[in-house]
Amino acid sequence: MKWGVVRFPGSLDDGDALYAIAEVMGQDARILWHKDESLGGVECILLPGGFSYGDYLRTGAIARFSPIMKSVAKFAADGGLVIGICNGFQILCEAHLIPGALTRNRSLSFICERVWIRVENASTPFTRATKRGDLLRLPIKHGEGLYVAPEDELRQMEERGQVILRYVDADGRESDAANPNGSMRAIAGVANQRFNVFGLMPHPEHAVEAMLGGVDGLKIFQSIAGSAR
Amino acid sequence: MSERPVSLPGEPKVDLEQARAHGLAPDEYRKIEQIIGRTPTYTELGVFSVMWSEHCSYKSSRRHLRKLPSKSELVVQGPGENAGAIDVGDGWAAVFKIESHNHPSFVEPYQGAATGVGGILRDIFTMGARPVASMNSLKFGSFEHPRTRYLLGGVVGGIGGYGNCVGVPTVAGEVMFDAAYNANILVNAFCLGLVRKGEMMSAKARGPGNPVLYVGSATGRDGIHGASMASAEFDKQSEAKRPAVQVGDPFTEKLLIEACLEAGKTGAIVAIQDMGAAGLTSSSSEMAAHGGLGIELDLDKVPLREAGLTPYEILLSESQERMLIVAERGREAELKTVFDKWDLHAVVIGHVTEDKRWRMRWRGQIVADIPIGALADDAPVYDRPAAEPKAQPQTKISITEKPGTAKALRALLDSPNIASKKWVYRQYDSIVQSNTVLGPGSDAAVLRIKNSRRAIALKVDSNPRACALDPYLGAVGTVCEAARNVACAGARPVGITNCLNYGNPERPEVMWQFVRGVEGLRDASIAFGAPVVSGNVSFYNETEGHPIPPTPTIAVLGVMIDVSKHVTQFFKNAGDAIAIVRTATPSLAASEYAAIFGIDGGRLGAIDLAREAALIEGLVEGAEQGLIRSAHDVAEGGLAVALAEACFNPRAILGAEVELGRAGNAAAVDFFGEGASTVVLSIAERDAARVESLFAGRGLEFAVIGRVIADPRLKISGTLDEGIAELQRIYEDAIPRRLRGSD
């Protein structure tokens, strides 16, 4: 599968995503520059973590106007696979490619730690290498990861299976203490209605080597790799 | 056009009084007049005042810093550039330095700490190295002091706010709370970068006629006289110095990192230096002076944030995220293309000259024209009197009854100085760049080097209580501790950087503390064969006549040949033998136990540096041979605390059963004593004899004191039997509990 990792000014985990896909997974991956409109024929687009444009206005609010985002939106409309991690998730929300929004953590501070994530829907292109109810150990690192959406919309999203990942405790149970940022319904990752655009706050690209603390993130990348059209 | 520098209409008259207001001593002012042969212009006076400030000139410390060893076969760059560099193998050099940002952080904690991180990052990537790791050492007043929470929140927020946004992981640090810092906190920031050997960039200007480019953020009025602020004591008016604190823009810094590293690859850069303290003035004069050349700048070309800045303000502004580049003539366009790509300013503002003068033009006039050496090399150097204070500091004895060991252990784990700092480091991105093998919460951080089996280990330490008792032994002990922590992880210490935080050097007793501190650093550095390749001195850390305790902050770089052999501090398997190895006898001097229970801990014991080096060799060899399951340095709180910490394995909580002291006769010093360079090891039963020979063979005291048990309890000498879960709860909650304010 050919992957494209978008580099915005202020992207930080772009190199890590590239490393995970190209070096660890051995797949074809390249950097896409935010000022370009060409996607170079890639089959999956990854919007990486970071602070695009410094996120001084609102996370992802400026990045969505980057020239490349026009192409990303068109790519998504054509059914192409798009994954947004952390700041990438925020950008996807701002671009209305995914419902909802990400606001400041309940603690009002940045949080960097490993958390437990439960797979809620394993029949998506992003989770097909997992089983429903699987627990993944993944790091989060963000200041604005509190997921919000209108109640009506949340209900519909749950019914359609768009809630893909949830924060849980080590035993796989939801609890207030296991919800690191206060997200509504402990949501950690969601997809659009067509299930070809996926946003998540945890960082699978930072969980691909045992020496650095775990390999559960590989399952997300393997799922995508196995979903090539 | 007049070729003689002039003051501008409306500028204050320059005389002795004005010089004094700029912080220059009368002798210094006369020396300036003598060097330039006339009365300086107002701009020139401002320039001299910052370049000759303690912060920029090291005028009180320079002659002592020369004593520090700076050479070894691994040193790629010693002192003299923006940072030092050590060969870490496989073609890589590690470029690193630590620097203080104490004064600004006390005045405005968020921006002060943030720009401290930004400044040290620029010192690293200015050398052509990609910053890969940050650390910090923080000293706050007592937790009960009304300002501490505000300062703690601001400083931690600022470090995270800046560090997280530039994509450099914060991998280790230390935080201490002590009333001695109530009115003068310390914020020391460390950064390390990696560069291919031979691709390092320099700050030495070459080639008269080569153009000088200004790149990065535009210049504003922020931070004017920041360097002078850092060269004076604090008083009640310090709050009014807030405008002298710079404001950081980490987003621009991130762009600047990428653009400068990319520009470096073009080969069109002759020299590059960041505009740190004293901004455009220091960067331009130092680059020219290092190259034995002159420089001429046209200040009208400097990008400004607002109209109406005077040349004085342009030259002294400490606006952040700016760099100065000497380019190869004719290749300016190549560089501009790179900076355009990253949407950053890149403007030619002058050129290198042959005449060894620092000449500034503005609106058709010359506003400064100074022999280049005068600003840097000819700055005054002082041999300030140093005298040992007559009365040694004494700890008050207020203890009425001895606490029981269990009660004391709980109290120590609940001390913010010992307790988990997770509340702090959880706010830092410690994993970006995918190299962090061991992050915060470990004895030392371990970072792998991609496409290599090698790794580096990092640790920053300080021990002001010991330094207050004996500034020499305290400094020696601090280096030993940092080196030992690196060795516990399995890495051999190869290089040192230091940030020397002291009071007012014009006081003989402070100068004595400083001189003894430098001597301690020198001796320990020689003993470990780990040279001091970079550093920073911060004087005038005192408020209203009360200096801080002497606080040399030491960061040690270690190298590991095989990252898979790294060792962590946690017990791994029930049944493993628990052993201690140490170089001396523990004491309660300068201990957390003595501080908490208000007892006189006595004097510091002597340190045998040959034994310290032997301990380090034994630890590294044991790790390389895979004989050591865990290794944890005994620090604040002594052996009992170290044993408890070794049980807090996040993967599997285990217990420990040990005997301390002789025949059930253990005293507080056996449980909680410090200062003996003790390491707690766990070893597979079958390897115990080999490990013993590793240390005993080097003449060190080695003893198996017990074993790891599956029952999650800490059992010591039949007098202490505590559940690990409860101890860990105390340890984890000590800082959050205080911040919740529910104690």
Q: Look at residue B231 in the predicted model and tell me its pLDDT.
A: 66
Q: ipTM value of the model?
A: 0.97
| Strand, coil or helix: B462 | coil
The answer on pLDDT for B226 being more than 70 is no
| A13 neighbourhood in chain B, CB within 8 Å | 167, 432
| A111–B157 CB contact, under 8 Å | no
Q: How far apart are CA B81 and CA B356, in angstroms?
A: 20
What is the identity of the amino acid at B21?
A
Q: How far apart are CA A3 and CA A43, in angstroms?
A: 6
Using a pLDDT cut of 90, give the percent of chain B over it.
Answer: 86
What's phi and psi for B659, nearest 5 deg?
-115, 125
- Which of B157, B426, B448 is nearest residue A111 as measured by Cβ atoms? B426
Burial of B63 (0-12, 13-18, 19+ CB in 10 A): middle
pLDDT, tens digit, for every residue of B325-346?
Answer: 999 999 999 999 999 999 999 9
| B153: nearest CA partner in chain A | A109
Q: Look at residue B239 in the predicted model and tell me its pLDDT.
A: 57
Residues of A known to be catalytic:
86, 203, 205
Q: pLDDT band at B698, cuts 50/70/90?
A: very high
pLDDT, tens digit, for every residue of B422-444?
Answer: 999 999 999 999 999 999 999 99
Dihedral (CA of B711, B715, B720, B725) sign: negative
Is B345 assigned a catalytic role? no
| A55 neighbourhood in chain B, CB within 8 Å | 165, 251
Q: Å from B430 to nearest chain A CA?
A: 7
Find residues 388-427 of chain B whose CB sits inside 8 Å of chain A: 425-427
**Cβ(B260)–Cβ(B126) below 8 Å:** yes
Q: pLDDT band at B395, cuts 50/70/90?
A: low
What's phi and psi for B113, nearest 5 deg?
-70, -40
Q: What is the DSSP string of B325-382?
A: EEE-TT-HHHHHHHHHHTT-EEEEEEEEESS-EEEEEETTEEEEEEEHHHHTTTS---
Query: What are the start-end ranges of the E strands in B480-613?
Result: 492-501, 532-538, 542-543, 546-547, 551-560, 577-582
Q: How far apart are CA B166 and CA B68, in angstroms?
A: 33
Q: How far apart are CA B583 and CA A51, in angstroms?
A: 48
**Cβ(A210)–Cβ(A111) below 8 Å:** no
For residue B164, which of A34, A8, A144, A188 has the smallest C-alpha distance? A144
Q: How far apart are CA B120 and CA B101, in angstroms?
A: 10
Distances (CA, A) of B693 to A114, B484, B585, B619, B688: 40, 19, 20, 12, 9
| A211–B428 CB contact, under 8 Å | no
Output B80 or A181, whichever has higher pLDDT.
A181
The CATH number fitting domain A2-225, selected from 3.40.1010.10, 1.20.120.160, 3.40.50.11740, 3.40.50.880: 3.40.50.880
Q: Å from B388 to nearest chain A CA?
A: 46
Mean pLDDT of B264-269: 96
Q: How far apart are CA B564 and CA B438, in angstroms?
A: 12
- Which of A110, A203, A209 is nearest residue B427 as measured by Cβ atoms? A110
Q: Å from B433 to nearest chain A CA?
A: 6
| B431 neighbourhood in chain A, CB within 8 Å | 112, 139, 141, 203, 206, 212-213
For residue B497, which of B222, B94, B210 has the smallest C-alpha distance? B94
**Cβ(A198)–Cβ(A83) below 8 Å:** yes
**Cβ(B67)–Cβ(B532) below 8 Å:** no
Partners of residue B187 on adjacent β-strands = B138
| A211–B249 CB contact, under 8 Å | no
- Tokens found for residue B364: 């058709």
| B164–A211 CB contact, under 8 Å | no
pLDDT, tens digit, for every residue of B522-535?
Answer: 999 999 999 999 99
| A109 neighbourhood in chain B, CB within 8 Å | 157, 160, 426-427
Q: Look at residue A192 in the predicted model and tell me its pLDDT.
A: 98
- Which of B251, B428, B431 is nearest residue A10 as measured by Cβ atoms? B251
| B249 neighbourhood in chain A, CB within 8 Å | 54
Most distant pair of Cα atoms in chain A: their distance: 45
Interface test with B, best of A110, A142, A209, A218 (most B CBs within 10 A): A110
Mean pLDDT of B372-401: 77
Q: Look at residue B666 in the predicted model and tell me its pLDDT.
A: 67
> Looking up tokens 């460390």, which residue turns up?
B190
Q: Does B432 touch chain A (CB under 8 A)?
A: yes
Q: Does B436 touch chain A (CB under 8 A)?
A: yes
pLDDT, tens digit, for every residue of B272-291?
Answer: 999 988 899 999 999 999 99
Output B742 or B390, whichever has higher pLDDT.
B390
Interface residues on A facing B, Cβ-Cβ cutoff 8 A? 9-10, 12-13, 15-16, 19-20, 50-51, 53-56, 109-113, 139, 141, 143, 203, 205-206, 209, 211-213
Q: How far apart are CA B404 and CA B501, in angstroms?
A: 37
Q: Å from B734 to nearest chain A CA?
A: 18
Is B632 assigned a catalytic role? no
Distances (CA, A) of B671 to A47, B411, B420: 53, 13, 20
What's phi and psi for B355, nearest 5 deg?
-85, 10
| A19–B450 CB contact, under 8 Å | yes
| A112–B429 CB contact, under 8 Å | yes
| B249–A54 CB contact, under 8 Å | yes
- Which of A9, A15, A112 is nearest residue B255 as measured by Cβ atoms? A9
What's phi and psi for B674, nearest 5 deg?
-125, 180
Partners of residue A191 on adjacent β-strands = A198
Q: Which helix (H) or strand (E) holds B190?
A: strand B186-196
| Sheet-wide strand order for B92-100 | B75-77, B84-89, B92-100, B186-196, B130-140, B170-177
Q: pLDDT band at B743, cuts 50/70/90?
A: very low
The answer on pLDDT for B458 being more than 80 is yes
Average pLDDT along chain B: 93
- Which of B166, B431, B437 is nearest residue A141 as measured by Cβ atoms? B431
- Within 13 A of B690's CA, how many CA atoms are on the CB side? 14
Mean pLDDT of B645-656: 92
- Within 13 A of B180's CA, how many CA atoms are on the CB side? 19
| A212 neighbourhood in chain B, CB within 8 Å | 431, 434-437, 448
- Within 13 A of B65's CA, how many CA atoms are on the CB side? 23
Q: Does B342 touch chain A (CB under 8 A)?
A: yes
Using a pLDDT cut of 70, give the percent of chain B over it.
Answer: 95
Annotated domain spans of chain A = 2-225
Residues near A162 by Cβ (< 8 Å), separated by ≥ 6?
Answer: A99, A121, A190, A191, A192, A193, A195
| B165–A15 CB contact, under 8 Å | no
- Within 13 A of B7's CA, how many CA atoms are on the CB side? 15
Partners of residue A200 on adjacent β-strands = A85, A189
Q: Å from A193 to nearest chain B CA?
A: 31
Burial of B612 (0-12, 13-18, 19+ CB in 10 A): buried
Output A134 or B241, whichever has higher pLDDT.
A134
Phi-psi domain of B11 (left: phi exceeds 0; alpha: psi -120 through 50; beta: other): beta
Q: Look at residue B205 in the predicted model and tell me its pLDDT.
A: 95
Q: How far apart are CA B10 and CA B5, in angstroms?
A: 15
pLDDT, tens digit, for every residue of B143-160?
Answer: 999 999 999 999 999 999
Mean pLDDT of B189-218: 96
Q: Look at residue B635 in the predicted model and tell me its pLDDT.
A: 94
Q: Look at residue B492 in the predicted model and tell me its pLDDT.
A: 98
| Strand, coil or helix: B95 | strand
For residue A154, which of A189, A126, A184 has the smallest C-alpha distance? A184
Burial of B663 (0-12, 13-18, 19+ CB in 10 A): exposed
Q: Look at residue B403 in the predicted model and tell me its pLDDT.
A: 79
Question: How does DSSP classify residue A150?
Answer: -
Dihedral (CA of A159, A165, A171, A174) sign: negative
Query: What are the start-end ranges of the E strands in B502-597?
Result: 532-538, 542-543, 546-547, 551-560, 577-582
For residue B606, which of B583, B627, B588 has the smallest C-alpha distance? B583
Question: How does DSSP classify residue B118?
Answer: H
pLDDT, tens digit, for every residue of B563-612?
Answer: 999 999 999 999 999 999 999 999 999 999 999 998 888 899 999 999 99
Q: How far apart are CA B559 and CA B124, in angstroms?
A: 19
Mean pLDDT of A126-130: 97
Average pLDDT along chain A: 96
Q: Look at residue A199 in the predicted model and tell me its pLDDT.
A: 98
Phi-psi domain of B500 (left: phi exceeds 0; alpha: psi -120 through 50; beta: other): beta
Question: How does DSSP classify residue B604?
Answer: P
pLDDT, tens digit, for every residue of B170-187?
Answer: 999 999 999 999 999 999
Mean pLDDT of B100-105: 93
Partners of residue A81 on adjacent β-strands = A44
> Looking up tokens 């996040």, which residue turns up?
B650
Interface test with A, best of B134, B252, B420, B432 (most A CBs within 10 A): B432
